[in-house]
Structure 1
Amino acid sequence: MPKASVPPEIQAEVQKLIDEFNQENFSDDDFKEFGNVGYSARFRSKYLYLDRDDMGRPSPICRLKWNGKMDNWDFAIYKYSDNCYDAEEWCFPGEEYVDGTVTGAMKAGMEAYEI
């Protein structure tokens, strides 16, 4: 049975993954014109909200639900058309990257919402 909230040690591990992903994907000159670009995390109870800073403002990308393992997060894409997260939506660019991992979710977000 998964814990009710994301444990602090998992939050730290997620932050490390995000930092590495940002370094690998947003550090080149192609993104300098956009200012501070990259993913950031917000944790609320059993959820991890992945936002991406584009041109200095955070934009929601997806929400992951903690299921007790680092490779078994439930995914929900943010739908700007409805202003909500939708776990049932699976027809979007990048859906093939959704594999239960935080890194897969960030890759999917890169395709779903290009900069």
Structure 2
Amino acid sequence: IGDALRLASLDHGGRVLRVLIEISEQALDEAFAVANGIQKVLQREGIRRSILLHGENATVWPFVQRAALRKFSTRVGLEDGKELPDGSVAESNAALVAAAVGIYRGA
């Protein structure tokens, strides 16, 4: 949340293309609270840029689902987590991306 406040205080002159909300907290309640707090700061401060919501390990798939529902961007790869939404181990980055695309198509 502090980084969002710092962004709001900078004179970036609208040169920001996208805001990356990358949360390291692994407890879902805490991760969602931080992500929501950042979004509230951005909205309150009038920073209207596309958002890329990114999680890792325990938050990968919940954040992909949230990103899809809120029309945000996201990214997934083996560096973020090795499991597919069903808990099985992904054989490749392509398998992770295919799962994310499926979530977006269903949103």
With normalisation by structure 1, the TM-score equals: 0.28
Q: Which has the higher contact order (CA 8 A, sep 6+)?
A: 2
Q: Which has the higher helix share?
A: 2
* Structure possessing the higher radius of gyration over alpha carbons: 2
